[in-house]
Amino acid sequence: MDAKLPKPTPAETEILNVLWDLGPCTVKQVQTRLVAERADDPRPAGYTTILKLMQIMAEKGLLRRIEGAARAHVYVPVIERDMAQRQMVRELVDRLFGGSSTQLVLQALEERPATVEELDEIRRLIKARAQTRAEGDPA
């Protein structure tokens, strides 16, 4: 995430997730997806609320409106999902875990225990990361 871009709020993150999943969308498409995802939520995501949030996000630089001949408001995220995730995790690790990735992972596994398959995947990823580091790539 560009350091100049503001961190998205939880509601803005929901909208970003829809756009990252679906690509460029109209406000109506985002609203329809959010209503489906919030099926158990007694507060429906209203069109005008989503429109206003997306307009604010565009003003903040999180979204860009695609101009076209159609009257529909079509938006795309300015930032990529992986870039936003990296920035937010970096800030979380620094602020809450004193820079310790180990503490972050332990807390995550305590909060939401991983399945056997997920643990196998985590082991595989750790092994691959260790191999990459051994080969001289510090990333």
Q: Extract the tokens encoding 111.
A: 């909060």
Where are the domains positioned within the chain?
10-77, 97-134
Per DSSP, the three-state class of 120 is: helix
The string of pLDDT tens digits covering residues 83-110 is 988 888 998 999 999 999 999 999 999 9
The string of pLDDT tens digits covering residues 11-67 is 999 999 999 999 999 999 999 999 888 877 767 788 999 999 999 999 999 999 988
Single pTM value for the model = 0.78
pLDDT for the residue 39: 76
Question: CATH code for 10-77?
Answer: 1.10.10.10
pLDDT over 80 (residue 126): yes
Per DSSP, the three-state class of 36 is: helix
Under 8 Å between Cβ of 34 and 50: yes
